[in-house]
Structure 1
Amino acid sequence: MKKLTPRQQRILGLLFRGESWSSSAVYAELRKAEEGVSLVTVKRALADLSQLNLLFVKGVGRATSYEISVSGRIYADVDAEAYCAVEPDKRYGSSCFNFSLFPKFPTDIFLASERLTLDEATNEYKKRTTDLSEIVQKKELERLVIELSWKSSKIEGNTYTLLDTEKLILEHKEAHGHSKNEARMILNHKDAFTFIHEHAEAFKSLTRANLEQLHALLVKDMNVGLGLRKTPVGVLGSTYRPLDNIHQITDAISDLSRVVSLMETPYAKALVSLLGISYIQPFEDGNKRTSRLMANALLMAYSCAPLSYRSVDENAYREATLVFYELNSIVSFKKIFIEQYDFAARNYAVK
């Protein structure tokens, strides 16, 4: 993936807001942000973006217009906080599932600098996990499981504190004033992580079978139906509506599985599965929990560090997710992923 210039990013941002743009229309908008920019410069920038497959061209001559491509959507840098500050019904994103997204998903989604950060973190992680005693391994595993179970549950609205979570997992003591479901959600995280930790080889790829198996562990005894959903679901705070029939959901899972298999690195496999499962929403509940654990399963299957999300800001996480739902941009979430991977690789020693 090539790093885009600020001007190129501004153009992609404009094209999100309408189906087709002429070079003159793009020029008129860019002049508001770039004093002195010329039409010739804008046309050259549009041509460069087209060559990068971030735009596609329609028509010829004066009838030429430009539309953003799937890759353009994926690589566009959107200010997630500003975008989500607008009321859902007034945002310019799509409310529909993008059937072109997975079939046209690029396999090279990290910049060279980002890949270097991830690889350096992995090297540090491998050093940290070399020659550990059984006692240290047990303590490190407990620490990661507690912090992952707490934060992943908190992202979903669970009100257990980190200390409550520690007591629940290590001492089997439920916190007063909390529902049984909150305790069950946390304990299910523990069981799901234990399973993928012990069966890492089964998660070299994402399949419908291992996805449903992981989901079943995460929603055990929570009155949630198993298997792919057969009824519609909505997304809080968004006009985006996931697919509403099991046949399309099944096809989308197959498309996602194929995309994940084509990704060039374990990091890309994990990130795409994390976003893709959340986007498809294949189950009636527990989708984002399943996506986080599946991402960890893929990372561990390739001897990479699992994430705890301990230091993630929940609002930033939700905003970046909504940007992917409505605009298909991965940039905001990718930043979170890289930060969390670097944090995990340098702070845990679970192998």
Structure 2
Amino acid sequence: MKQLTLRQNQIYNFICAQGVASNSEITAHLADSAEKVSRITVVRDIETLLKNKYIKRIGAGRSVKYKEYNNNILLRHYDAVAYFTTEAEQRVCKETFNFAVFRQFGKIFAAPELRRLALLTKEYQQNLAKIKPDIYRREMERLTIELSWKSAQIEGNTYSLLDTEELLKNNREAAGHRKEDALMLLNHKTALNYIFAHKMDYQKLTLRKIEDVHRLLIKDLGVSYGLRNSLVSIVGTKYRPLDNRYQIGEAMENTVRVLNSLADCFHKSLAAIVLLSYIQPFADGNKRTARLIGNALLVAQQACPLSYRSVDSVEYKKAMLLFYEQNSLTYFKELYLAQYEFSVKNYFLV
């Protein structure tokens, strides 16, 4: 999609918030926000939004109004740079869990995106068919090291990639780091090995299978198993996950139902990552569990697992916050697509 200007983003977000809006309402909104622009400038901005399918026109003549082009809230566009210029406490956002998101995951990839994913998957499968067993083992080890490092880094782990390699290959802890950092990385390795050894088990997901991966990831880290009984808070957002164990259980049942109903592993994987992160079902280790379950759903269908090696940790967190606060998947989907291509082009090559 075309990159919007700050004012065009403001117009688009106003239309989304209102449901429908007229030209005069848009102009008045801009004036209220100290953005004094001429009518012709507003018309030009609206035409840009129409041309690029951010909005659509309804009605005609003087009664014409504008509404969001896509009715799926998950596909609502937000400019991440513009969005995060506003501090968390000032951002207008959804502060509580939205159960309506479960109805929206049916078609979150466009046809061209699915075609690209299919081509990449074919390339990955062709590489696997040709790769020698010893090279395959080394590539699995490399992917495990790099995924463990990046996944832990997103959670604040201070190990470098080289220190992670030394730890996971030779069980040597790096000096000057917490014991918990080493355990977090070693637990990633254990959980990944378990997933790859039982990958066909994830063709159908259950709550027990999610909990089993979580249990491996948080072993010896002082985190309780099972669905949490207490409130959790998330840094940098007003969003607060569910704090009622019954509702958490209901949300997880809905998640498992939705994931098992989706048509392909890419919809399943992406939905699993964002939903488990959004629900925060456990006392800790939620996003780690989400990333590994996302990979389990990929490898269960012979698709390439993600290492996230090239993703920027801050941008990953921003993309997740956009889903928490606005239920918008677009930025995270962009990162996901880039990471899938990165993994296919960088692992298991022949």
Which deviates the most, 118-127 or 25-34?
Answer: 25-34
What is the match of residue 234 of structure 1? 233
Closer, same or farther: CA 134–5 of 1 in aligned 2, 3 Å? closer
Distance (Å, rounded) in 1 between the aligned partners of 2:39 and 2:144: 47
Runs of at least 5 residues in structure 2 that lack an aligned partner in the other structure: 31-36
What does residue range 68-79 of structure 1 map to in structure 2 within 5 Å? 71-79=71-79
CA contact (8 A) 2:217 2:288 kept: yes
Deviation of 1:101 after TM superposition, in Å, equals 1.3
Distance (Å, rounded) in 2 between the aligned partners of 1:32 and 1:20: 23
Closer, same or farther: CA 186–238 of 1 in aligned 2, 3 Å? same
What does residue range 144-293 of structure 1 map to in structure 2 within 5 Å? 144-293=143-292
Distance (Å, rounded) in 1 between the aligned partners of 2:340 and 2:171: 29
Closer, same or farther: CA 180–258 of 1 in aligned 2, 3 Å? same
Distance (Å, rounded) in 2 between the aligned partners of 1:33 and 1:205: 55
Closer, same or farther: CA 188–34 of 1 in aligned 2, 3 Å? farther
Distance (Å, rounded) in 2 between the aligned partners of 1:32 and 1:220: 61
| Cα RMSD after superposing both structures | 3.3
Which deviates the most, 4-13 or 322-331?
Answer: 4-13
Closer, same or farther: CA 9–206 of 1 in aligned 2, 3 Å? farther
Closer, same or farther: CA 84–41 of 1 in aligned 2, 3 Å? closer
**3-state SS of 2:41 partner:** coil
Q: Does 1:345 align with 2:344?
A: yes
CA contact (8 A) 2:241 2:279 kept: yes
1:163-184 CA-to-partner distances (Å, cap 9, x unmatched) read 1001001111000011110000
Q: Give % identity.
A: 40
Deviation of 1:253 after TM superposition, in Å, equals 0.9
Closer, same or farther: CA 324–199 of 1 in aligned 2, 3 Å? same
Distance (Å, rounded) in 2 between the aligned partners of 1:5 and 1:313: 20
1:67-120 CA-to-partner distances (Å, cap 9, x unmatched) read 879944211111123212321110111111112111x21411112222222112
Distance (Å, rounded) in 2 between the aligned partners of 1:162 and 1:290: 20
Distance (Å, rounded) in 1 between the aligned partners of 2:231 and 2:309: 32
1:203-253 CA-to-partner distances (Å, cap 9, x unmatched) read 113321111111001000100010000101011000000000111011111
1:248-269 CA-to-partner distances (Å, cap 9, x unmatched) read 0111111112222232221111
TM-score normalised by L of structure 2:
0.86
Closer, same or farther: CA 34–326 of 1 in aligned 2, 3 Å? farther
Distance (Å, rounded) in 2 between the aligned partners of 1:133 and 1:199: 21
1:35-78 CA-to-partner distances (Å, cap 9, x unmatched) read 2629x989x99xx9689xxx9xxxxxx9x999879944211111
Distance (Å, rounded) in 2 between the aligned partners of 1:309 and 1:197: 17
TM-score normalised by L of structure 1:
0.86
What is the match of residue 96 of structure 1? 96
CA contact (8 A) 2:56 2:69 kept: no
Distance (Å, rounded) in 2 between the aligned partners of 1:20 and 1:36: 18
Distance (Å, rounded) in 1 between the aligned partners of 2:277 and 2:69: 21
What is the match of residue 296 of structure 2? 297
Which deviates the most, 271-280 or 119-128?
Answer: 119-128
Distance (Å, rounded) in 2 between the aligned partners of 1:137 and 1:72: 41
Runs of at least 5 residues in structure 1 that lack an aligned partner in the other structure: 56-61
CA contact (8 A) 1:9 1:77 kept: no
Structure 1 letter corresponding to 2:43: V
What is the match of residue 330 of structure 1? 329
Which deviates the most, 130-139 or 234-243?
Answer: 130-139
Distance (Å, rounded) in 1 between the aligned partners of 2:139 and 2:113: 27
